[in-house]
Amino acid sequence: MNEKRLRLEGKVAIVTGAGSRGEGVGNGKATATLFAREGASVLLADMEIARANETLQGIEAEGGIASTIKVDVTNDDDCLQLVETVIERYGRLDILDNNVGNSFRKSVTEIDPDEWDNYMEMNLKSMVLTSRHAIPRMIETGGGSIINIASIAGVRASKAAVYTASKAGVIGLTISMAADHGREGIRVNAIAPGAVYTPMVSWRLSEEMRAHRKNTTALGTEGTPWDVAWAAVYLASDESRWVTGSILTVDGGSSILSRHAYTDAEIS
């Protein structure tokens, strides 16, 4: 019998925010790790190179192929450099996972206008900057898959105005890019995670809040970054060849429940 083919064998990927900000595993780190396990060569992009290097160590220890690059994805020159580097190192680009983002818990009366701009740049404009350089390179080799990390906070209020607005923007950007570039072989999808337990939120959650988050899902269980990462593997692979412009919710069913599920600090 033939050996089983890995799901991303021969593909080349960029993951932005491929490090984790704290102890444990974040969405970017888990996604980069699974991409490598499934046979992709992965360029690990992060503003904090030490964080990307930690992800690299884990991948190399498992025999995967990856390397790191220090970039700020809110800077257009850095994004150009990112895409040129992936071509130099691996010869092509098939997958772009736009993972960088962060929540900010302020209403419009509390937020400073500069803070608003900074979060919109980090959570939304960054995806435009990476994609505008990536798409022409993907087209050169027949197309590719772009995965934008949104949030269920993009379709529900979460007492974090700029986060909700930026993630709603990610959803709009995703369907727009999918329509604009489909005929060029580019698929663009978003993942909308729910309350996943990652270093992005763990620092502000008490055990009680964590238990409440579990209870507010249909499944009654907690999400992990690996749940987000498996969704990204599917969207990156040829298994999703006819899927574009979709928003894949990964939230244990929390957003299908009609009761008011979250307290102030819980949504992310």
Ligand X SMILES: NC(=O)c1ccc[n+]([C@@H]2O[C@H](COP(=O)([O-])OP(=O)(O)OC[C@H]3O[C@@H](n4cnc5c(N)ncnc54)[C@H](O)[C@@H]3O)[C@@H](O)[C@H]2O)c1
Q: How far is the CB of 47 from ligand X (least distance, A)?
A: 4
The encoded tokens of residue 79 equal 């994004």
Residue 99 within binding range of ligand X, rule CB under 6 A: yes
Is 222 or 241 the residue whose CB approaches ligand X more closely?
A: 222
Q: Is 169 in the site for ligand X (CB under 6 A)?
A: no
Q: Does 129 bind ligand X (CB under 6 A)?
A: no
Q: Which pair of structure tokens corresponds to residue 136?
A: 């022409």
Q: Can residue 146 be called a binding residue for ligand X (CB under 6 A)? A: no
Residue span binding ligand X (CB under 6 A) among the ranges 88-96, 97-105, 172-180, 231-239: 97-105
Query: What's the angle, vertex CA 231, arms to CA 5 and CA 77, rounded to 5?
Result: 95
By the rule CB under 6 A, 15 interacts with ligand X: no
| Candidate residues 38, 72, 97, 266; the one interacting with ligand X per rule CB under 6 A | 72
CB of 119 to ligand X, least distance (A): 10
Shortest separation between residue 9's beta carbon and ligand X, angstroms: 24
- Binding segment for ligand X among 58-66, 71-79, 212-220, 229-237 (CB under 6 A)? 71-79
* Sole window of 94-102, 106-114, 176-184, 229-237 interacting with ligand X (rule: CB under 6 A): 94-102
Residue count, binding to ligand X (CB under 6 A) = 31
Which of 226, 199, 239 minimizes the C-alpha distance to 6?
239
Stretch that binds ligand X, among 6-14, 46-54, 210-218, 235-243 (CB under 6 A): 46-54
Q: Which is nearer to ligand X, 69 or 93 (CB)?
A: 69
Catalytic positions, written as ranges: 163
Could you say whether residue 252 binds ligand X (CB under 6 A)?
no
- Measured in degrees and rounded to the nearest 5, phi and psi for residue 150 equal -95, -140
Measured from the CB atom, is 139 or 247 closer to ligand X? 247
Is 174 near ligand X (CB under 6 A)? no
Which residue in the set 12, 42, 44, 47 belongs to the binding site for ligand X (CB under 6 A)? Answer: 47
Residue pair 186/144 in contact (Cβ under 8 Å)? The answer is yes
Residue of this chain nearest to ligand X (CB atom): 101
Write the secondary structure of the chain as one string of H (helix), E (strand) and C (coil).
CCCCCCCCCCCEEEEECCCCCCCCCCHHHHHHHHHHHCCCEEEEEECCHHHHHHHHHHHHHCCCEEEEEECCCCCHHHHHHHHHHHHHHHCCCCEEEECCCCCCCCCCCCCCHHHHHHHHHHHHHHHHHHHHHHHHHHHHCCCEEEEEECCHHHCCCCCCHHHHHHHHHHHHHHHHHHHHHHHHCEEEEEEEECCECCHHHHCCCCHHHHHHHHHCCCCCCCECHHHHHHHHHHHHCHHHCCCCCCEEEECCCHHHCCCCCCCCCCCC
User: Which residues are at the interface with ligand X (CB under 6 A)?
Assistant: 16-17, 19-21, 26-28, 46-48, 51, 71-74, 99-101, 122, 149, 151, 193, 195-196, 198-201, 225, 268
